[in-house]
Chains A and B, each alone.
Chain A
Amino acid sequence: MPTDTWVDGVTPEPGVAKPDPILVVDGVTRRFGGLKAVDVEHVEFQRGAITALIGPNGAGKTTFFNLLTGFDRPDAGTWTFDGRRMAGMAAHKVARIGMVRTFQLTKALSRLTVMENMKLGATKQKGESFARALLPPLWRKQERDIEERALDLLARFKLDNKRDDFAGTLSGGQRKLLEMARALMVQPDIVMLDEPMAGVNPALTQSLLGHVKDLRTQGMSVLFVEHDMDVVRDISDWVVVMAEGKIISEGTPDHIGQDRKVIDAYLGASHDAPTTAEEERQQLAAAEAALDAESDEREQLQQ
């Protein structure tokens, strides 16, 4: 596999440069009130690789995804996709230039059929302008191509026999498949999957994993958030670990498994419980000061 070669030359440390990055992130922060949900100094994602983004609950993984794909705006920071500056770009444009994502909770349109959902995923449709829409010959050929592509994808995800069913009648696992298939309709360069295996039954997990590996074979880059470490170990070339908004570790799955920082992050507590009354007073004072600072900030915002 080509991936093994680049991994050898990269030091496993947070923010390390990759030989051929497709996505480079610099100084991206996002605050919710006093909480810094995302605070990423620098991270690069290798082209053509499967990168897992892991971390405990509330580490900021989904928020980070939202920022990169234009579903949320950062307070600061820049990032480039294939050398293109992305900050401030709207979500639909991000998707159009080849960076698509799926959601943790699927967002299939339940009152449309599976096929209709797929067709909606296709971009650059010629019939989108009013004048052209009135002239079927201009878009009929394209419509057929899109349908073919959709059928092809549905077959790959074993949803072809469901093509005329309403998406709302699919099981949770099938919706995950549909969402991934729909994301591929835009022929993306990078696919970002938010907990693709969550709620999917074990039998389907295997086939989903196969599909993700296929994406890499086809030259796509994959970035995915996942909690199941078996999955992470199975398919990822590289693992990036977030905790409390920051990138705290990077490396191969083997390396990450031995990183004490990662184990600690999962079990929580960057702070330890106070052992003396004095320590307790100090922690309480620090917390109260933080609360005061927050409410001052809030008041200033309101003025």
Chain B
Amino acid sequence: MSASSEPTQPEPKDSTTEHGGGRATDDAQDVEALLRADNIVAGYVPEVNILNGCDLRLAEGELVGIIGPNGAGKSTLLKSLFGLIPVREGTVRLRGEEITGLQAHTLVSMGIGYVPQNNNVFPRLTVEENLQMGLYLRPKQFGERMEVVAGLFPRLGDRRKQRAGSMSGGERQMLAMGRALMMDPSVLLLDEPSAGLSPVLQDEVFIRCRQINTAGVSIVMVEQNARRCLQICHRGYVLDQGRNAYTGGGDDLLNDPKVIQLYLGTLAQTG
């Protein structure tokens, strides 16, 4: 894929809805997925499973959101896709090839990028050095990739020499995303990219995610801002207690009373 350096025009809203809806229905037909996880069981403490059999499909070019209440296992699912926690049962496949249990650096070289929720930049290093760290496996391509990333995040290009530790939360989030894009990944995994940001900055993060996706990167994002996430996603997964609760097109889920109920517990039943 080649990321265009021009900010991309968003598709008109209704075409997105169709697209999302279409994907949701043919999910059952088991389209050849770029990334797929089947029946994932994983956890941190021995004998305590956070995920109790989760499935996920990511088709080429798709933007998929994972939402759900606290403790549903959203971040854990992302970590298990990226080899950060041992997968106890189930498989993860990239283009049909099993990658379960492979280590993160191997996955990076295979084209998967991951942006953790916290501590996702090296505060003592400059913007440029942070971006170099993202490309340490292929340092020769730095100039070329830097141009692409600076096209998506002009701010990073303007502030190459600034130390990451002196940047604001919003800027750091962009730097972290930029670093993950340095390796020209085909899949990008984002863990709550909008967390802790003010509403205007959340706007920017979501718009950038969409632009990155339009530039050809398939994205799985975990989000606590469920509404906004589902608005930009082709498809969404709602997790609850380590299982897939609902799956569907972004807009369908957004208007599904069952999803609202899951977030608010029994409170919404009277609503």
A binds B: yes
Q: How far is the CA of A174 from the CA of B167 in the complex (A)?
A: 41
Does B169 lie within 8 Å of A33, measured CB to CB?
yes
Which residues of A (32-73) have their CB < 8 Å from a CB of B?
33-36, 56-58
List A contacts of B207 (CB < 8 A). 274, 280, 283-284, 287
Interface residue? B10 (CB, 8 A): yes
In the complex, the answer to whether B166 meets A298 with C-beta atoms within 8 Å is: yes
A270 at interface by CB-CB < 8 Å: yes
Please report the number of residue pairs spanning A and B whose Cβ atoms sit closer than 8 angstroms: 142
Q: Is the CB of B228 within 8 A of A269?
A: yes
Query: Which A residues are in CB contact (< 8 Å) with B265?
Result: 228-230, 232-233
Set of chain B residues within 8 Å of A19, measured between Cβ atoms = none
In the assembled complex, the Cα of A273 lies from the Cα of B200 at a distance in Å of 11
Is A254 in the interface zone, CB < 8 Å from B? yes
Query: CB of B39 within 8 A of chain A?
Result: no
A290 with B198: CB separation less than 8 A: yes
Asked if A257 and B171 sit within 8 Å, CB to CB, the answer is no
* CB-nearest residue of chain A to B267: A257
Decide yes or no whether B269 CB sits under 8 A from chain A: yes
Tell me if A286 is interfacial: C-beta within 8 Å of chain B.
yes
Which residues of A are found within 8 Å of B12, using beta-carbon distances?
275-276
Write the A271-301 contact mask toward B (1 if CB under 8 angstroms, else 0): 1111111001001101110110011001000
Asked if B228 and A273 sit within 8 Å, CB to CB, the answer is yes
CB atoms of B231 and A290 under 8 A apart: no
Q: How far, in angstroms, from A276 to B200 measured CA to CA in the complex?
A: 17
B251: shortest Cβ distance to chain A, in Å?
11
Is A256 in the interface zone, CB < 8 Å from B? yes
Would A291 and B201 be within 8 Å (CB), given that A283-B207, A284-B207 are in contact? Answer: yes
The interface of chain B, by Cβ under 8 A from chain A, is 7, 9-10, 12-13, 69-70, 155, 166-171, 195-204, 206-207, 210, 223-229, 231-232, 254, 260, 263-271
Given contacts A35-B169, A280-B9, A283-B200, 5 further A-B pairs with CB under 8 A are A258-B270, A262-B264, A262-B267, A286-B200, A291-B171
